[in-house]
Structure formats: structure tokens, C-alpha cells
Amino acid sequence: MRDQPRPPGIPERGHAVSSAPAAVSAGRSKSASRPPAAVARRAVARLTMPVLLLLPAMVIIVGLVGYPLVRTVYLSFTDTGLGELIYGGSTWVGLDNYKEVFADEHLRASLVNTVVFGTVCVIGTMVFGFCVALLLNQRLRGNWFFAIAVLLPWAVPALAASAIFKWLFDSRYGFVNWVLVELGFSGFEDYAWFAGRFSAYVAIFITVVWQSFPFIALSLLAGLQTIPKETLHAAAVDGAGPWNRFRLVTLPLLRPIVAVLVVFSTIWDFKIFDQIYVMAAGVPDRAADTAAVAAYREGFALSHYGLGSSVAVVLFVILLIFSLLYVRLIGREGTA
Amino acid sequence: MRKFSVAVVGVVLAAVVAACGGSDDQQTGDKATASGKLSGSISVWIMDPGSPKIQDVVKQYGTDFEAAHPGTKVDIQFVPWAQAHDKFVTAMAGGKVPDVAEMGTTWTPEFADQGGLVEQPKISKGDYVSSLVDAATLNGKVYGKPWYAGARALIYRKDMLEKAGVEPPTTWDETMAAAKAIKSKVGGGVYPVSFTGLSEHMYLPTIWQAGGQIATQDGETWKSALNSPEAAKALDYYASFYKDGLDPKAAVGWEEPDAQTAFANGDVAMLIAGGWTYNSIIATKPELEKKMGTALTPAGPSGQNTAFAGGSHLVQFQESKNKDLGAAFIDFMLEPAQLNKFTSEIGFLPGTTDGIKASGYLDDPQRKPFAEQLLEHSAVYPPSPKWGGLEGANIFDGEIQKVMKGQATGQEAVAELAKKMDEEFAG
């Protein structure tokens, strides 16, 4: 971006920032001829505008991300309940809540569910997204139409999609069971998808993948279209079949974008809430709850805001670890 | 371009802040004047009854009240039941409470315990459905006026029972026998009952029917009474229908509305439900009115046929700035003539004895069982401040589901539940 010639007369916002070090060093070299106060004033004047411009964004980020984060971490070390939340006066309990998170069978299970089910969803979304992207990348008639149609699931609110899929998987009135029975799988007559953890996860997995593949597919499609045709032709001339072309040429070239998409998907699928909240509510003993739902229920339903916060913090830490891991992996590949 | 978008964000932000702050002082100056004449405005939260027709009845209360008291303003908002508990919590935490609200009877002690509700003076038990006054009582003080009440009874399909050759059951044993007969003789994929995994108002009362208790009070503290052979027997009885295939397979994960849908669709022969459900089934499937019969809840081994008395209270919040107007509006809604406009639509009974007399419910043979169930065979859950939380977290559902799925015995489930309840009562 920066190398591109800028049209004259249009000052860019980056200008003030990028030229600041130059101004400072220039000022330093002439420091003998100028009083330091003037230099300082100039520097302040140069910084005022950027700071002012950044301020609204800063206020929003600090207000909407920073404060809740700090407050959640603080609450997680207290015994805050409904009364303490309204009138204050909570007590510091140290790590008690965290001990409870790992001691409580349901909360511990919800963390395991989050990691296992989240990972499966990431893999499912990436694989399906890749398949769709490769299909859309073919020069087929009407592919532009499909490229737009693919976006539709993404535009459906998660809550609405969950409610729709819950009905699709309904035991007696659901479309899925009807189709399966018509196809000859009579075991699915009145099959109760949400009466067991595994079958419920199958239904929720399909919902999550259906909802999140469009973004992955379109991002990968964009990536696929940047791959020079010559490279693929050259590989073909050298005798590489379609699978080897994909494995040895396409995939390595797409690696950076795949890595970013995996990070995004991980964050989305680990903090999955709506689908679980709607679809897994009836799973016996709430065995299919994920950490986000468990934190919500612990906090808002049982009014154990301290314990709920600590579940949220543990989820945050898990996400942080996964994200850092991926970032490191990307970095290593970049240097390799 | 970037400068422009930053400016836009700034303007939007300012607008948002202004919008949020704008409602702050809505109620300043809305005080009743010293002379006793009502003035000012109040905000009222009513649980969303779901149907526009019933909403209109409630809205009409506001309009009529404003007409009777010129210079007053009643702002009625509908809050969905599912979000109501959270909404009350956040409203209290943020100091933006309504002046008057409808509150589920099991929540009233919880919010009263936080000091959020105004004590209602001059409540005499004879004027109201007494179990609902109990439900609003915390440490001897009453914090809500019963608005409407209801208890679940038995709704059945006359035609299906006839085909199976059985009479409406009056005891647990008869229920089981009827269920087996229906299963073998009716066919067509019809299930005899729909005992669901997520409806505590269906399964908890079976503990009373078995002769057990849910919790006992000692001074200000409560102790779970679930760890008893009676309670274990009750859960085993409830789950046996599911285990024997007399209950839809999916019912383990159903909530009450799912059971009602199945009944309305003709997939279920017997349903434990209240008068409000009876009304809504007739509203959706008028042809079922002739096919449906009603009876009291079947009695358990103790001879008791107790059902849960549910309903709601009208409460006032401590932080309300216009308590006089709020109290006047509550009293207006509780006048027998006004009350019955609402309760007859919604299928509940009025929470006042005068209201019940005026309702004519006791003269309608189809609806009489619901009234009789409430007035003579109903009880309330322990009015402990902790109950709302227990209910909110559905701690009971998980254990009953385990018993239904055969993963735990009734005795194991009640022992576990008693432990959880006591932790919650103590905490």
C-alpha cells in the first residue's frame, strides 16, 4: 500500500503517524538551533490529531472489550451472587471458583465438550468449505449464482438457524427423520436426536458447519483465484495429477490464508452458544453443554456470577492458548 | 475517506450515548400529589401471554385506568417468560426497574430477599388463593398480590380412551393400566402419555402424590426432603412410562409445549396440563373440544392428588418512584370484573376469591376440574429465596432424565438432588 503513489493534494491519515519519527529525528539533529520546549510543543501538536482520531475507537474498545474483560476476571475471584451484584459487598475467594470449575463434573465436562466438539466443527467446516471453494473455482456454468447462494446460510441469524434445524431434526415431525425413513432406514422412525449426547452433537455439528462454511469457502475461493494458472499448468506438464496438483501446489500456496481461517473458526466454534443453547437444552443431564452455555447458566440462571465468570475466563484462556499456538505455527511456516 | 468514517463513528457513538442516557430521568417529577389524587406515570412489565388478543386485554387495562384517572400514564411492556428472570436481574442491578411487574410466583421470594420488592400491606388470606399468598411470603411479610393462578389436571382424549376400553384414571395404578391398554389397542403411533424430561411441574408434584415432601423449613432455613423412599418411588413411577415405551422417545428432551403440541396433533392420549393449555388447544384445534375430557390429577399411593399451584403475583419495586400510582393500578387490575377479562382469556383462575366467584369456572363441567384442582388439591414449592435459582438452573431435569434413560435409579436421583438442593439452600 505504502509504495503506491499517492495522488497529490490528498493527505493520508497515516501521514502524520509515519512522518512523526522523521520529524523527531530531524528535530534532534537541529536541537542546537531550537529550544527544547518548542520541539516538545511541535511533537505534541503533531500527536494531537492522531490521538484525537484514535480516541473514539479507543473508547469503544476499552468500554466494550477492556472493561468487561477486567470485570469478568475480577468477578471470577469473588463469590458474587445476585445480591452482591445489585448492592455490592462481594468477598474475595481467591482460586475457589477455579477449583470448583475443575471439580464440578458438569463444568469440567462442558470444557472438554468445548475443545472436542469445537475442534471437530473446525475440521468439518474447513473440509466442507474447501470442497465448496474448489467446486466454485471450476469454470462451470452458473457458478456465479452458486457463489452468491452459498452466502445465504451465513446471513441467517444463528438463533433462527438453530430453531429451524431443531425442527428439521424433530423426532416425529422432522424432515430429516422423514427422509431417512423414506430412504429405507426404518430405525429413524421417531428417532429422538436430542435424547442422547452423541446424536445431538451430530445434529448440532451439521447446523454449525452449515452456518459457518460460507465464509470459509468464499475466503478460500478468493485465495484460489490468486494462484497463478502458470504454476498449475507447469505442474500439469510435469505430470502431476489433480490430487498432487492440489496437495503440492494449491495447498502450500494457500497455507497462510488457511491458517488465518483456522484461527477464526476455532474462536467461533469454541465460543459457540446459540446452537447449543437452543438445540442441546433437552439433552439428558445437559451433557452436551459447552463452556459458553455453562457459564451463562451458572451465572444468569443460578445467579452464581463469580463461578460463571471463572468458567468464562477459563474458556478465554483456552482460546488464547489455541490462538497463540496457531500464530506461532503461521510464523514458523512464514520463515521456512 | 478514513477521516470521514472516523467522524461518522464519533457521531454514531455520541448518538448512542445520548440515546442511552435519554431515558434516565423518565420518571422524575412523576410523584403522586399530596392531596392523594393520582398523577404521573408508571411503567408496567407483564409477561407476554403470546396471543395478541390477550395482549389487547392487558393494554386495555392501561387505557381504562388512564381514562379513570386523568393525568396518569401507564406504559405497559410485554416481557417473554423465558427472558424475564434475566431481565429482572439486570433491571435491578442497573437500577432501571419497572414500577409494577407481573412475577412468576416462585421468583417473588428470591427478589424480595434481595430487598428489591415492596411489602404489600393488608393482605388477608381469605381474599386471595391462599397457596399463592404463601408463595409470596418471606419471613412473614407478603411481597406480591396474587393475580392469577392455575394447577395442572388431567386432559385426555375421550375417543382414544374409549377405543382402549378404559375410564379416565384416578390413581397411579389406573394410569399405568390405561396407558398399557391405549398402547396396545389404539395404534396409529399414538403414545398414551407425554411425561417429559424438562417439565418439573409434571414430575415434582408426583413426590407429593407419593406422600413425600420437597423441602422442609426450620426457622429461616430450608432443608431438602427429597432423599426419601416416597420421592424415589415418585421418580421411578414417572420414569416407568418412558422406560416401558408408553411415552414418546423424544419426550426425555421435551419441554411442556412440546408435549402439548404432540397432544394437539393427536399423537398423545393423556396430558398433564392446566386450563390455559386446554384453552390454547381449543384455540388451535377447535375440533378437539368435543373429543377432550378433563379430570383431576390421578392420586398416588398416599391418596393425595396434589398438583403444583402456579401463577403470578403483581409486585412493586423498591426503586419505583411512583408507588402510590403503582398500588392503585394493581388494585384496579384485581377488581373482579377487570380480573376476569384477563383470566377467562388466558385460561387461568383469578388469584382473588371474589374473582373466582365471578368467573363462573365452577359451573363449567369441562373446566371445573382445573378450579377444583387449584382450590382443593394444590400446593406450592418451598417459598425459599433460593428456589428461583434452583428452578432457573433446572437442576431437577438432569436427574429425572437419568432415571428415564435408566442411567440412575429413583433413589440415586433423589439422593443427588437432595445434595444439590442443600448446597443451594446453604449457599
Can you give the pLDDT of all 336 residues of chain A as single tens digits?
A: 444 444 444 444 444 444 444 444 444 444 456 677 888 888 888 888 888 899 999 999 999 999 999 999 999 999 888 778 777 778 899 899 999 999 988 899 999 999 999 999 999 999 999 999 999 988 778 888 888 888 889 889 999 999 999 999 998 889 999 999 999 998 898 899 998 899 999 999 999 999 999 999 999 999 998 888 888 889 888 888 888 888 888 888 888 888 889 988 999 999 899 999 999 988 888 889 999 999 998 888 778 899 999 999 999 999 999 888 887 876 665 544
| Grid cell digits, residue B284 | 388451535
Which candidate in A61, A78, A90, A285 is best for mutational testing of the B interface (most B CBs within 10 A)? A285
pLDDT at B35: 44
- Chain A residues inside the 8 Å CB shell of B262: 172
**Which residues of B lie closer than 8 Å to A, measured between beta carbons?**
2-3, 6, 9-10, 13, 85-86, 89, 92-93, 110, 113-116, 189, 197-198, 248-250, 252-255, 262, 265, 267, 389, 392-394, 397-399, 401-402, 404-405, 407, 424, 427
Please judge whether B10 and A286 are an interchain contact, meaning their C-beta atoms are less than 8 angstroms apart.
Answer: no
Non-local (6+) Cβ contacts of A13 within 8 A are A50, A53, B2, B3
How close B291 comes to chain A (CA, Å)? 22
Among A255, A279, A263, A322, residue whose Cα is nearest residue A115 = A322
- Chain A residues inside the 8 Å CB shell of B394: 286, 301
Instruction: Work out whether strand B307-316 and strand B100-104 pair parallel, antiparallel, or are unpaired.
Output: antiparallel
Please tell me which of the candidates B89, B249, B389 has its beta carbon nearest to residue A190: B249
* CA B233 – CA B177 distance, rounded (Å): 17
| Grid cell digits, residue B25 | 430521568
Instruction: Work out whether strand B268-273 and strand B191-193 pair parallel, antiparallel, or are unpaired.
Output: parallel
Among A273, A135, A125, residue whose Cα is nearest residue A205 = A125
Cα–chain center distance at B132: 11
Please judge whether B262 and A60 are an interchain contact, meaning their C-beta atoms are less than 8 angstroms apart.
Answer: no
pLDDT at B36: 60
Please judge whether B253 and A281 are an interchain contact, meaning their C-beta atoms are less than 8 angstroms apart.
Answer: yes
Please tell me which of the candidates A56, A283, A297 has its beta carbon nearest to residue B253: A283
- The radius of gyration of chain B from alpha carbons, rounded to an integer in Å, stands at 24
- Chain B residues inside the 8 Å CB shell of A59: 13
Size of interface A-B (CB pairs under 8 A): 102
* CA A284 – CA B255 distance, rounded (Å): 12
Strands (E), B83-209: 100-104, 137-138, 141-142, 145-151, 153-157, 191-193
pLDDT at B401: 93
Among A151, A193, A157, residue whose Cα is nearest residue A275 = A157
- Chain B residues inside the 8 Å CB shell of A197: none
Name the strands in the sheet holding B268-273, side by side, starting at the edge strand that comes first in the sequence.
B191-193, B268-273, B153-157, B292-295
* CA A322 – CA A320 distance, rounded (Å): 5
Please tell me which of the candidates A13, A59, A173 has its beta carbon nearest to residue B2: A13
HSE (side-chain half, CA atoms, 13 Å) at B198: 22
Among A290, A324, A313, residue whose Cα is nearest residue A116 = A290
Bridge partners for B44 per DSSP = B76, B100
Non-local (6+) Cβ contacts of B263 within 8 A are B155, B157, B194, B271, B273, B281
* CA B314 – CA B137 distance, rounded (Å): 13
Residue type, A44: V
Please judge whether A190 and B92 are an interchain contact, meaning their C-beta atoms are less than 8 angstroms apart.
Answer: no
* CA A81 – CA B389 distance, rounded (Å): 11
Non-local (6+) Cβ contacts of B192 within 8 A are B178, B179, B180, B182, B183, B186, B241, B246, B247, B268, B269, B270
pLDDT at A26: 45
- Chain A residues inside the 8 Å CB shell of B248: 171-172, 190, 192
- List chain B residues with pLDDT less than 50: 1-35
Which candidate in B401, B404, B420, B423 is best for mutational testing of the A interface (most A CBs within 10 A)? B401
Residue with cell 414430575: B203
Please judge whether B249 and A195 are an interchain contact, meaning their C-beta atoms are less than 8 angstroms apart.
Answer: yes
Non-local (6+) Cβ contacts of B58 within 8 A are B46, B49, B76, B78, B342
pTM score above 0.90 = no
Q: Is the ipTM of this complex over 0.90?
A: no
Residue type, A102: F
Cα angle B181-B184-B186, degrees, rounded to a multiple of 5? 85
Cα pseudo-dihedral A287, A293, A299, A301, rounded to 10: -70
Non-local (6+) Cβ contacts of A328 within 8 A are none
Going from the C-alpha of A172 to that of each of A166, A323, B375, B386, B401, the distances in angstroms are 12, 42, 37, 37, 20
How close A82 comes to chain B (CA, Å)? 7
Nearest CA in chain B to A106: B398
| Grid cell digits, residue B108 | 417473588
| Grid cell digits, residue B270 | 393423556
Q: What share of chain A is helix, strand, coil (3-state, %, to 5)?
A: 75, 0, 20
DSSP secondary structure letters along B63-103: HHHHHHSTTEEEEEEEE-HHHHHHHHHHHHHHT---SEEEE
Among A314, A316, A294, A280, residue whose Cα is nearest residue A201 = A280
pLDDT at A333: 56
pLDDT at B26: 38
Residue with cell 396434589: B306
Q: Which residues of B396-426 are buried (b: 16+ CB within 10 A; e: fewer)?
A: bbbbbbbbbbeebebbebbbbbbebbbebbe
Nearest CA in chain A to B265: A173
